[in-house]
Each structure stands twice: as structure tokens, then as C-alpha cells.
A and B are shown apart, each in its own frame.
Chain A
Amino acid sequence: MNKFFKSLFIIPLVASALPIAAADTTADSYITSDPFETMVRLGRISENSPIYQMPAGSANGGYITSATTSGNAIIYPLGYVKSSAPSSYFTIVSKETSLLIAGESFELNATMSVDPSSYVITAYTDWDRNGIYEKESQTAQVNASTRSFVQPITIPETAALGKTRVRIRVESSTPSSADASISGRIYDFVVYVMEASDRTDCFISVTSNNNELGTALIETAPNEAGRYEIGSQVTVKAVINEESETVIDFKGWQEGGEIVSEEAVYTFTVSKSTSLIAVFEAAVPQLATPEVSTAENPIWYQIMNAHTSETRKERYIAYDTNIGGDYTTELRVEKPANQTDKFLWRLEDAGNNQVYIVNRGTDLRISGSKVLETVNFTASATGNRFEIAPSGNANGSYSIKYEGDNSYLLNAKDGVWSVVLYNAGIGTGSGWYFYKVSIKTPTAIDDETQSVAPRARLYDGHLTVTGLDGRNRVRVISLSGQLLGDYLATDTTFEGDLRYSERFIIVVIESETGKTTSLKLLDSKL
């Protein structure tokens, strides 16, 4: 049995993870491993805070998918990631924040859901904390290929200490002021200006753009303050989630909207506080000609409706019993789609040039009565047969004909988003596209009998990992990517104590064959 005792690394998160923590005035202490404690520590920094104007407007166009801060002004970098559009044109970002030093400069690095080069991006700041925004004189640099922009910002030496905001407006024309009405997006990033210090070390953080797809970690140990000396070498690593059934690519490390390295293991020299995003992407489904397949060798499709109106476009056939949101039926047309089972279908040969449309996960087939418009289709064990043939519309879509009948076409019903039969809408509401989804085929190493199947538990700082194959590399990582420990386990069980309490850790277990398993652990006592 292996034992370890973490004694080398003291990171800023640990002291404040205790159940009761006294007020601490150091900048590091504001950010803790408990988001609610961090909320209180940040929320009380400024007893008196300005009240900002919320402009009028409406949402339009793309949105910011990630935002980080980097540069000499950064004590603690921003790490904002958003995978779907905000519900409003006006967004206050406060759960994720940045701690800054007056008299220094930084970059706000943002990635958008669309190419930002056709937008006007304007930044406003309020360094005197009077509630009135001033326009930042430096302009954003846009990179169309990475859908990103970098907004340089300089903080005056006279900046008032405490909570303030950086407002970013994204719209099609130049605004007259920070508070002007908008058709676009406004982001108010809540930031904190702190007293400068004489530190010669910087904060490095890494984050994954999608934790379902992969994990980001810093392999190099920090100093006792959880930082890295300027001039030192730091290695970061991107680990693809091999548990995922989806094919995943690592696209690279992104800093300030630029991919700075495409290597999963990336070493760089520290010159400033830096926040890196490990960009993972699931293989993009490809538009395809529908083909029949078997359960043994399935071809999985997302089936997207061909209608192009704003509310009806990009809706995919989905099936599950967990009905919620805008939907009332188990079989429905949902948006947006993902690669989970409810959106995946294969076509099983039903003879006579017809198919069953079979759901992945439930193995149920699309079924319903031969009645136009009023019967909502569902999925059943028997299912109904359909003929799939080109719709004839120039858009290249397909018709899905109930038992081959040209007058009974599978249709996405407007407004209720159920699936019905309809005798019109050919190539639109009754038109469909088939997107082939790459699902990993198990390989020999993925066979359960040969792969690592470890289990782990964290209780009161005591880590236990079981189910190892006898020769594993075990790394313990904090949620901000800091490596807390790196060990070789030579037994099937590994055990040890964290020197400081951590509410959450990630344990990355690597087998001799290179297969990795990531386990997110919660200390069940804390």
C-alpha cells in the first residue's frame, strides 16, 4: 500500500477551506475553494458600492463563450466560460471575477460563439468607483479565425480600491455611451482593485472549456503562495476524457483568444499572471446520406428538421421520458442538440425499402398511428416502418414517409414541438437532415477486463483509491488546476492524507498503457 503526506505545496485556497475562517486582508484570501465563502469575502470588500445603469436593449447576435484576464495587473485571473447564450442581452458576471492592481495593465481575452469581426466591441471602466463609466481608449483586437478578441485595459495609479466593473458592449454599430440602448450584448464584469504588492511571482490558472470533454491541470508545483516565479518554467497538461463515448479532439491551449500551443503537454516561461483555456472539441457531426445499420455495427445520426424560420430551425428529433422546459411529449424536436443518447438514432432495415428508426440508449423505435397532425408520435418496442427518400426540395433534405405513403410525412409540429404526420411541408417542416455522429468503438484497451476501473474516496482529507492495476501514476489536482501531488502507485490500493483540507479535488489515474481516468472527489466530511 502506498502512503503519501502532502507537505510541499501550500496553496491559497486551503486556509479558507476551514469551517470557520477569520477575516483575512490579503488578496489571495478572497478566493477560496468554497464558492459561497468566496462570495461573502468578495461581497463585503467595499462597504459602499456604486449603482450602475442598466441600459435598455434586446439580445442580438453572438455571445461570449469564454473570458479570461492576463497581464501584470492580474492578481487573480478571470475564468468565465459559458456554453449557451445568456437569457438576456445584459449580463453581470460576478461569480467569476478578477483581482487587479492599480497602475498596471491587463488584457481581457474573450472568445465568442461567432466571428466577432463584424461587431463593434467597446470597453468601459469605472476606476474612480463613482458609478459612471468612462470609455477605455484602447481598442479591442479581433481575431476572426479564432472567433476571439483581446481588449487591452490600463488601470490608473489613482484607481479607487474596491469593487468596480468593466463593461463590454458587443453590437453592430458604435455606441454613443456605456449606457446607450443596445441590440447586441452587454457584459458587466465585476472586478476588484486591490493594493499593489512587491511580488515577483504570478498566478497561473488553467481551465477546460468543457469539463465533460477534458481536464486541464498544471503539472509544475507552485511556490508556497500558490504562485509561480517570473522566469520559471511551468508545464500544463490537457487530458482528454477517455470515458466519453464521443470522439474528442484537443485543439490547443488558448490565451487571449490565441491558440498558443497545440501540444497537450505545454511548457512555457512565466512572465505575467496567465490564464489558459484547454480547448477540447467533440467531433462535429457530419451531414450524411442516411444508411441502414445494425445494432452490432450501428451508424448513429442526429436527425435535424429542415425548416428555416427562427423558432423552427435547428431542431432535432429527441426522445426521453424526462419532459421539461418547452416540451410536453417524450418524442419531440429539441434545440440545441448534443451527442447524448436521446438525440441519436440509427436506421434498422424493416424490409421493403423501409426502416425502423431506433433510439440509442432505450432501443425504442419511433411509432404512432397513421393520423394526420393530431397524433403525437412516441417511441415503442415495436415501432412503425418508414421510407426515407430525398424530399425533392433543393435544400437536399429527406422525407420520412410513414409506411412509404407520400401523404403521411414525419413532421416537426410548430409551437408544441412534437413529432406528427403531415401531408405538406415537403422539404421544410416535413424535411429532415441526417448528421452522422462519430461514437467511439471500444478497442481492446477499452475492454473492461483490461482497463483501469479505479474508485476513490476522500473523507476528512484522507484519500483512498482502490481498483488500481498495480502500476499507476496518481495525480491529485485542485479545481484551479494546481497539482497537489504526483505519485507512482505500485499496489492495487493507494492511500494518504491531504495536509490541508480541500473540498473538491480531481484525481487523475494513469495506467501503464497510458489510459487515464479522472475522478472528481468531494470531501464527504467537509
Chain B
Amino acid sequence: MNTSKFIYPASGLLLTSGMCFAQERDAVATTERPNVIYLLCDDMGYSDIEAYGQQMISTPNLNRLVNQGMTFTQFYASTAVSAPSRASLMTGQHTGHTKIRGNKEIQPEGQEPLDPNVETLGNLFQKNGYVTGCFGKWGMGYPGSGGEANDMGFDVFYGYNCQRKAHSYYPEYLWNNKTKENQNGRYSQDAIHEHAMKFIEDNKDKAFFGYFTYTIPHAELRQPQDSIVDMYKGKFQEPKPWYNDGDYGTATDPRTQFAAMITRLDTYVGQIIDKLEELGIAEKTLFIFTSDNGPHNEGGADPTFFNTEERLRGLKRALYEGGMRVPYIAYWPGTIQPGSITDLMAAGWDMMPTFVELLGESPNWRDEAMDGLSILPTLTGKGEQQQHEFLYWEFHEENGRQAVRAGEWKLIRQNIKNGNPTHELYNIDEDPHEDNNLANTYPDKVEELKVIMDREHTPSTIFNFGR
């Protein structure tokens, strides 16, 4: 036994059954190792699509996905900004344990690489005989770092290596594996989606894992001015035009452009569903749609306007619910009950153990411990679903933040950098909008959750809450 597997003994699991291995075998026997497509879009908030309360943007294909799949009302991104959210997803470690805990750029292109010694979701699927492909934004290893997608478990990569480069929807080039491919003015999302669709088609007779990281609706708010944009032309007042600031391009009608971007993403989703059905592989494909963090307000975006009646507080970078709670829809015809809804509390780092169980792989498949738990019993309706004892997040910009959710309670610690942090306690079940700070009313609960917070944060030489 490798002792490093048990570094994190209190990793959020509250075991309710000792039958885990039997469940895994059962899952494998009944699923025949399905394909997996994980579509992680970029900066899309909880209420940006119709099924999650959006009233001004049309998302018919995501409605279709909701009607045919399972919708989660309490799924959390791994944190409130891109790179660590993705790193946590890839490694199955929450942001108190995984190496990448913030957006750390490396000039001239790319970000701090993943730990090459920690195997990723890509490695997991490769190890189990899957063809793996990543299409979109990588952001977890600059070119030549040894942490590029192709180095971290993906046979095929097409898209942006660098988050910063992905701020442009009309980049000079995209990476085709490790080769630059000039775009000649092409809209990047169409190119990425085209490659993703080809990946599905090319591997229809094999087992595949597609990690589709389209960058919609991240700023900038630019796209082809086509029939999708025309749907929204003149529908909204546009009091705040955005002009090129050197990072994000001009959008004189940002509300219109943002709405059209969501509908464009929805269109891509519809094409993926259609392709799976056309190829006859829908019933052997688990297709998950979610986002990397909450909604952004960059490049002219106006999340207050679109998050109709503002169901959750906070945007991208906040550890309030709005910064992290995201749409999560799982589609798997014949296995997932159509139209089902769950309020299971789950997070990005749960995907690793979920796919481990899906593949019938051993929980000890790699040396490093996984922080999450499998949500496969909820998806399939088979076996007993374990419940999180707690979820933990950290964030290293804006003076540093940590958050813990345990049952109905959530503690948020802010202003860590200055050495005198504040603590806010909310009852999420009663107060999902986090309006009533109960820290003074329940000091014992604050102390209880602080213990989790302090225990789950392991020191990092790279990310230290801005200190």
C-alpha cells in the first residue's frame, strides 16, 4: 500500500455504505464503459440558461438536455476562477490540495503547469483504453512546460493553450496538438467545435473521453454577426457600450452579444446531441454540461441585467454562491432518468471518483488521494449515494478567500492577506442569496467550520492568498 493515498483522511466523505466495490462492478456491468463528453464552458453563471431561471436568453437545446437528462441544483465549480477550477477537475483534488490554485500567467503564453506527477482525468481514461481529446481552452501548462494537454493525458488537443490568448475570439493561431495553426480570421469557437465534432465522429466505434472547453461566454464579447445575433438585435437597451481596452475587444451592444453567445453555445450543444443520436451512440455516451465558475462582468458583460431577479449573490471570483454554483446537466439516454432533478451537493473534484467508478477502476488507481466522492449512484439511480460532509474552496486573488459548506451552513473567510480576516456565516438552505450573516449569532458553528477550513488548506509555495 502506498501511504500517500491517505494524506487527506477527512476529505469530505461521509460513508453511508460499505458496498462501494460491489456498486462499481455493477456499474461497469451495466454501462459497458460509455463514452464521456464533459463540456466545461467558461464564466457562465447559474441563471444564464433558461432551465436555471434565465428569462431573456433562448436556450432550447439545453432545455432539451434538461428534459432528457438529470439537472443538479447544487453543483459547485471547484473555485471561482478558471485555472484552479480546471486543475481541481483534472486532478480530483480540491483547491486546498491541488497545485494550481490561481491564474498564474507565464509569459509570453500560458499558465503555471499542472504537477506532472499527479495523474489527470485524461490519464485515467487513457489508462482504461479510451481515446482522449481536449477541445477549447487548456490553461494548465504553457507551451514546452511538460504540462500541455498532450502531456497530461490527452491524445488530441485543439484550441488555446493560454487563458490570456483566449480573450480573443479571433486569434492569430490555435494549437493543433503542439503545432500552431493559423486561423486567418476564423471565429475560434467554430473551429474548436468543428474539431470536437470530428473527434466524436472519428471515434464513434471506440471508447472516447471528450473534454470540451469552449470559451463561451467569457469576454471578449465578439462573434460572427449572424442570424443568432439577429435574434437579439434591438431587443435590449444598451446603456453601457464597451470599447477595446487592449484586452477585450469592442462590443457596442454587449447585452445583445452576450445573449447571442449563450444561444450560440446552446446551438453547439444541440449539434452534439444530434451527432450522438445520428451516430447511434447517444445511449452509450454520458454527456455533461457545466461551467468553470460564476458569471463575469468583463468586456461589457452585464450579469446583473441577465441574472433575472438575481437568484444567487456574487460573480466570478466571489466565494458566495453566485461565484461557484453553476449549471450541471447530465445526459445519458437509457441510463439517466429523463427529466430528473437532484439537489445533491457536489463539486468539480467529484468527477474524478465518479469516472473512476464509472470505469470500474480501483479507487487506488494512482498514488495521490482523491478529495471527492462519486456521484454515479445519483446519475444511474443504482447504489447508495454518499454525501459530502463538507466542501472546501480557496481563492488567491483579491486578498484571499476561503469557504466551507457543511450541510446547510457555509462559512466564508475574506481578506486573508492582511492577517485580520473576516468571517461570514450563512444558512444556505434558508438564505441561498447569502443576505444574512449569522456569524455573531452562531459563533460555535463559525469555530467548527474554521477547523475544517484550516485543516483542508495545505501550504503552497506558489499560491498564498496574495501574501
Contacts and interface: CB of A to CB of B under 8 A. Distances in A.
Contact of A522 (B63, B71, B308, B429): B429
Interface in A25-51: 34-37, 39-41, 43-44, 46-49, 51
A44 B67 CA distance: 7
Nearest to A50: B58
A147 B74 CA distance: 40
A22 B63 contact: no
B340 A51 contact: no
A48 B60 CA distance: 5
A20 interface: yes
Contacts of B235: 51-54
A286 to B, nearest CB: 31
Interface in B21-40: none
Contact of A53 (B50, B54, B234, B341): B234
A446 to B, nearest CB: 23
A265 to B, nearest CB: 29
Contacts of A36: 73-74, 311, 343, 432
A44 B51 contact: yes
Contacts of B338: 22-23
A54 B52 contact: no
Given A19-B343, A51-B231, A56 B237 contact: yes
Given A20-B378, A522-B427, A522-B430, A47 B63 contact: yes
B344 interface: yes
B311 A43 contact: no
B382 to A, nearest CB: 12
Contact of B344 (A19, A47, A51, A522): A19
Contacts of A52: 56, 235
Contact of A37 (B58, B231, B308, B343): B343
B66 interface: yes
Contacts of B308: 92, 94
A21 interface: yes
B340 A20 contact: yes
B50 A524 contact: no
A434 to B, nearest CB: 31
Interface string B325-345: 000000000000111111110
A503 B52 contact: no
A94 B55 CA distance: 8
A23 B73 contact: no
B408 interface: yes
B249 interface: no
Nearest to A37: B341
A20 B381 contact: yes
A94 B56 contact: no
B337 A40 contact: no
Contacts of A120: none
A503 B429 contact: yes
A21 B143 CA distance: 46
A55 B338 CA distance: 38
Contacts of A46: 63
Contacts of A6: none
B248 interface: no
Given A51-B232, A524-B408, A43 B73 contact: no
B407 interface: yes
A21 B51 CA distance: 16
Interface string A61-95: 00000000000000000000000000000001111
A44 B63 contact: yes
Contacts of A95: 53, 309, 311
A190 interface: yes
Contacts of B234: 53
Given A23-B340, A51-B232, A40 B311 contact: no
Interface string B41-69: 00000000111111111101001101100
A324 to B, nearest CB: 11
A43 B57 CA distance: 12
Contacts of B342: 19-20
Contacts of A522: 408, 427, 429-430
A23 B232 CA distance: 31
A51 B56 contact: yes
Nearest to A23: B339
Nearest to B342: A20
Given A20-B381, A52-B235, A92-B308, A43 B50 contact: yes
Nearest to B339: A23
Contact of B71 (A40, A92, A503): A40
B162 to A, nearest CB: 35
Interface in B402-417: 407-408
Nearest to B239: A56
Contact of B339 (A22, A39, A93, A94): A22
A39 B67 CA distance: 13
Nearest to A190: B55
B236 interface: yes
A92 B67 contact: no
A50 to B, nearest CB: 8
Contacts of A41: 341
Contacts of B427: 522
B381 to A, nearest CB: 7
Please indicate which of the listed interface residues A23, A52, A503 has the most CB atoms of chain B within 10 Å of its own CB.
A23
A54 B302 CA distance: 15
A54 B50 contact: no
Q: Which of B71, B74, B236, B344 has the most CB of A within 10 A?
A: B71
B340 A39 contact: no
Which of B67, B340, B343 has the most C-beta atoms of chain A within 10 angstroms of its own C-beta? B343
Contacts of A55: 237
A247 to B, nearest CB: 25
A35 B431 CA distance: 12
A417 B49 CA distance: 40
A22 B378 CA distance: 12
Given A39-B52, A40-B73, A52-B235, 7 more contacts: A20-B340, A40-B341, A47-B67, A51-B56, A56-B237, A94-B308, A524-B408
17 contacts: A20-B337, A21-B340, A21-B341, A22-B339, A36-B432, A37-B343, A39-B53, A40-B52, A43-B52, A47-B60, A49-B50, A51-B231, A51-B232, A54-B56, A54-B237, A504-B430, A524-B408
Interface of B: 49-58, 60, 63-64, 66-67, 71, 73-74, 231-232, 234-237, 259, 308-309, 311, 337-344, 378, 381, 407-408, 427, 429-430, 432
Top 3 A-B pairs ranked by shortest CB distance?
Answer: A23-B339, A36-B73, A43-B51
